Amino acid sequence: MSNDGTYLVCAHEALATRGGGVIRLGVTPSLSLAFVDQIYSGWILQDPVDYLVQEWEYPPLDAAPDSLRDLLKDYLALIVEPKIDRMQDGDPELREELENLIEHCSSHPDDPRRDVLRDQVIDLRDNWYEDAV
């Protein structure tokens, strides 16, 4: 995710290491496919917080509050290695990070995308920490 939370990128490392030769193909106004040397290398989603939804519902038409970008960045930082390993080991400090993120989500203005993110963090906590349920 970009530092300001505007872009979520899922790509092969070649995309990050190449200075030139990268082509972006816009699929929608918010989604691009990335190619390096004419080989598909990943995708780029602009304003990913706008697309936080439950199941197959349509995203709200209005833009998500900017504050949700930081919440999404914090969530994504929790679901990567080595933090996943720490969750598997029942690390109490990581559980505290999850609890803090749940509280932080709940303190933000009411928005369905905030609820999606908060519910996902709650599910993550409940799935990894038996006594949380």
Task: Locate 72 and state its tokens.
Answer: 């999404």
How confident is residue 132, by pLDDT bands cut at 50, 70 and 90? low
Give me Rg for the CA atoms of the chain.
17
How confident is residue 36, by pLDDT bands cut at 50, 70 and 90? confident
Provide the mean pLDDT of the chain. Answer: 91
What's the mean pLDDT in 125-129?
A: 92
32 to 5, 9, 41: CA distances (angstroms): 16, 10, 11
40, 74 contact by CB (below 8 A): no
72 exposure class (CB count in 10 Å sphere: 0-12, 13-18, 19+): buried
Distance CA 95, CA 97 (A): 5
Q: Would the pLDDT of 33 be above 70?
A: yes
83, 101 contact by CB (below 8 A): no
How confident is residue 56, by pLDDT bands cut at 50, 70 and 90? confident
pLDDT tens, residue by residue, 88-123: 999 999 999 999 999 999 999 999 999 999 999 999
Task: Locate 122 and state its tokens.
Answer: 């709650």
How confident is residue 131, by pLDDT bands cut at 50, 70 and 90? confident
Q: Respond yes or no on whether the N-terminal peptide bond of residue 29 is cis (omega within 30° of 0).
A: no
Distance CA 28, CA 117 (A): 24
pLDDT score for 19: 62
Q: Would the pLDDT of 50 be above 70?
A: yes
What's the mean pLDDT in 20-46?
A: 91
Task: Locate 47 and state its tokens.
Answer: 């304003």
